[in-house]
C-alpha cells in the first residue's frame, strides 16, 4: 500500500482476456488517511500468485 493509505473493502480477483492481456488481475482500492491523505487504486497481475506484478497505480 502507498504511504498514508489503508486497504479498502472489496478487493477482487477477476480473469481478464483481451488481445493484450490474458490472466488474473487483482483490483484493490487504497483508502486515504494520514497527513498526506492519498487514496486511489492498484491493479496487479496475479496469474502467478507467488509472483504478483504491479500493472497500474492511481493516486489522488
Write down the domain spans for the chain: 5-59
Partners of residue 32 on adjacent β-strands:
5
Checking if the pLDDT of 3 tops 70, the result is: no
Tens digit of each residue's pLDDT (9 = 90 or more) over 10-40: 788 999 999 999 999 998 887 777 777 777 7
Residue 59 has a pLDDT of 67
Question: What is the C-alpha separation between 11 and 40, in angstroms, rounded?
Answer: 13
Direct distance between the N- and C-terminal alpha carbons of the chain, in angstroms, rounded to an integer? 14
Amino acid at each position: 500500500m502507498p504511504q498514508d493509505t489503508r486497504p479498502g473493502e472489496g478487493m477482487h480477483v477477476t480473469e481478464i482476456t483481451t488481445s493484450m492481456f490474458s490472466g488474473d488481475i487483482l483490483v484493490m482500492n487504497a483508502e486515504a488517511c494520514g497527513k498526506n491523505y492519498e487514496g486511489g487504486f492498484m491493479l496487479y497481475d496475479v496469474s502467478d500468485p507467488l509472483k504478483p506484478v504491479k500493472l497500474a497505480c492511481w493516486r489522488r
